[in-house]
């Protein structure tokens, strides 16, 4: 199974610590990785079809403090589609003058929707097909970029149509909010004042967040499996869609 990592914060925050935790799991997930960072409306998208353990791009992401309010990362174990750059998550498209970044964990069976609009897959994964369909249906539902609550309602209507084709855990952001949907496995966590020292589950590494944050900072993390010990990660319910803004999440509807 692939691994997802999302981060949403009320102030630009780096994900070096969490990404290191995720990349450690790349042993079993050697079919590429990717990470998208929003900086305002702009996006940096780093993808590689090498494992996050050896990729020079992963090394850059682990050591360069890219500060962002919305981050989506993915390490891949291929279920559909060959191992190639065009099949590597996250995927990116533009809609309504906003970039959208999407990553998926799971496997959709017999999902062949009619893609009659402006969004066509470049690669051959079920995931990119699902993303193009989501973009198409969102474009049909709204003439311009709606507010976050309206978008949440639209997404809440669309999720079950994907979910019924199989496992559909996903992260989606447009730089305003980050949406997370779980069909099987996804966990979330909110960090806020007072910050504590925490340890990565899979690597011998600790950070004292109190020393690198201010009392006003709020950070939400979303991950397939909890990345740290000593913190109260909460499992998503099956079918749950949550929306994260300014470092805090809520049920989307």
Stretch of 5-13, 52-60, 184-192, 220-228 lying at the interface with its own copies (CB under 8 A): 52-60
Q: Kindly tell me which of 39 and 202 has the beta carbon lying closer to its own copies.
A: 39
Q: Kindly tell me which of 52 and 95 has the beta carbon lying closer to its own copies.
A: 95
- The candidate with the shortest Cα–Cα distance to 21, out of 39, 4, 44, is 4
Stretch of 69-77, 91-99, 104-112, 158-166 lying at the interface with its own copies (CB under 8 A): 91-99
Q: Which token pair is 160?
A: 């079950």
Work out which of 4, 26, 43, 243 binds its own copies, going by CB under 8 A. 43
Q: Kindly tell me which of 64 and 114 has the beta carbon lying closer to its own copies.
A: 64
Give catalytic status of residue 2 as yes or no.
Answer: yes
Q: Residue by residue, what is the 3-state secondary structure of the chain? A: CCEEEEEEEEEEECCHHHHHHHHHHHHCCCCCEEEEEEECCEEEEEEECCCCCCCHHHHHHHHCCCCEEEEEEEECCCCCCCCCHHHCCCEEEEECCEEEEEEEEEEECCCCCCCCCCCCCCCCCHHHHHHHHHHHHHHHHCCCCCCHHHHHHHHHHHHHHHHCCEEEEEEEECCCCEEEECCCCCEEEEEECCCCEEEECCCCCEEEHHHCCCCCCEEEEEECCCCEECCCCEECCCCCEEEEECCEEEECC
Work out which of 27, 28, 41, 237 binds its own copies, going by CB under 8 A. 41
Applying the rule CB under 8 A, the residues between 109 and 148 that interact with its own copies are: 117-123, 139
Work out which of 27, 28, 94, 149 binds its own copies, going by CB under 8 A. 94
Q: Tell me: does residue 97 bind its own copies (CB under 8 A).
A: yes
Q: Kindly tell me which of 58 and 189 has the beta carbon lying closer to its own copies.
A: 58
Work out which of 96, 157, 160, 210 binds its own copies, going by CB under 8 A. 96
- The candidate with the shortest Cα–Cα distance to 78, out of 22, 145, 128, 18, is 128
Residue of 2, 71, 151, 159 with catalytic role = 2
Q: Minimum CB separation from its own copies for residue 95, in Å?
A: 8
Q: Tell me: does residue 44 bind its own copies (CB under 8 A).
A: yes
Can you tell me the distance from the alpha carbon of 174 to that of 172, in angstroms, rounded to the nearest whole number?
Answer: 7
Q: Tell me: does residue 232 bind its own copies (CB under 8 A).
A: no
Q: Kindly tell me which of 84 and 184 has the beta carbon lying closer to its own copies.
A: 84
Stretch of 1-9, 48-56, 103-111, 164-172 lying at the interface with its own copies (CB under 8 A): 48-56
Binding site for its own copies (CB under 8 A): 39-49, 56-57, 60, 64, 84-88, 92-99, 117-123, 139
């Amino acid at each position: 199974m692939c691994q997802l990592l999302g981060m949403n914060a009320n102030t630009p925050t780096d994900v070096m610590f969490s990404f290191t935790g995720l990349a450690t799991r790349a042993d079993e997930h050697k079919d590429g990785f990717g990470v998208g960072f929003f900086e305002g409306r702009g996006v940096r998208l780093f993808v590689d079809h090498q494992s996050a353990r050896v990729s020079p791009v992963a090394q850059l992401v682990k050591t360069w403090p890219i500060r962002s309010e919305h981050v989506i990362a993915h390490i891949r174990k291929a279920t559909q589609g060959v191992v190639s750059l065009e099949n590597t998550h996250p995927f990116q498209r533009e809609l309504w003058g906003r970039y959208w970044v999407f990553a998926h964990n799971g496997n959709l069976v017999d999902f062949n929707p009619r893609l009659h609009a402006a969004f066509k897959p470049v690669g051959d994964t079920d995931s990119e097909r699902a993303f193009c369909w989501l973009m198409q249906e969102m474009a049909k539902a709204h003439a311009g970029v709606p507010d976050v609550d309206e978008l949440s309602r639209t997404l809440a209507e669309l999720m079950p149509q994907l979910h019924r084709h199989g496992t559909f855990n996903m992260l989606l952001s447009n730089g305003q909010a980050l949406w997370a949907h779980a069909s099987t496995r996804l966990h979330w966590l909110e960090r806020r004042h007072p910050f504590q020292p925490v340890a990565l589950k899979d690597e011998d590494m600790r950070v004292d967040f109190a020393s690198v944050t201010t009392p006003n900072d709020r950070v939400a993390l979303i991950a397939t499996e909890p990345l740290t010990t000593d913190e109260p990660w909460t499992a998503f319910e099956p079918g749950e869609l949550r929306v994260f803004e300014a470092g805090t999440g809520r049920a989307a509807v």
